[in-house]
Amino acid sequence: MMSSSKRQLQKENTRKKIIATAYQVYAKQGFTATTAVIAREAGVSHGTIFVHFPSLDELLTCLIQDFGDTLALETHKLSESNNVGELLRTYVSVLAKYEDFYIRLISQRSLLPEDIQMIYANIQSTVAYHFNKVIEREVENQTIKKIPIHMVFNTWMGLLHYYLLNKDFFSPEMPLLERYGSELITTFLELIKK
Task: Determine the Cα–Cα distance for residues 173 and 146; give it in Å rounded to an integer.
Answer: 38
Q: For the chain, what are the domain ranges?
A: 1-53, 55-192
**Given 3-state DSSP classes, what are the helix, strand and coil percentages for the chain, each rounded to the nearest 5?**
80, 0, 20
pLDDT digits (tens, 9 = 90+) for 23-41: 999 999 999 999 999 999 9
Say which CATH class 1-53 falls into: mainly alpha
Q: Is the pLDDT assigned to residue 2 strictly greater than 80?
A: no
The yes or no reply on domain 55-192 and CATH 3.40.220.10 is no
pTM: 0.91
87 closest CA partner among 140, 136, 123, 127: 127
Instruction: Say what the pLDDT of residue 48 is.
Output: 95
77 vs 186, residue with greater confidence = 186
Q: Is the pLDDT assigned to residue 115 strictly greater than 90?
A: yes
Task: Report yes or no: 57 and 112 within 8 Å, Cβ to Cβ.
Answer: no
Cβ contacts of 36 within 8 Å, gap of 6 or more: 46
Instruction: Say what the pLDDT of residue 75 is.
Output: 83
Q: Is the pLDDT assigned to residue 142 strictly greater than 90?
A: yes
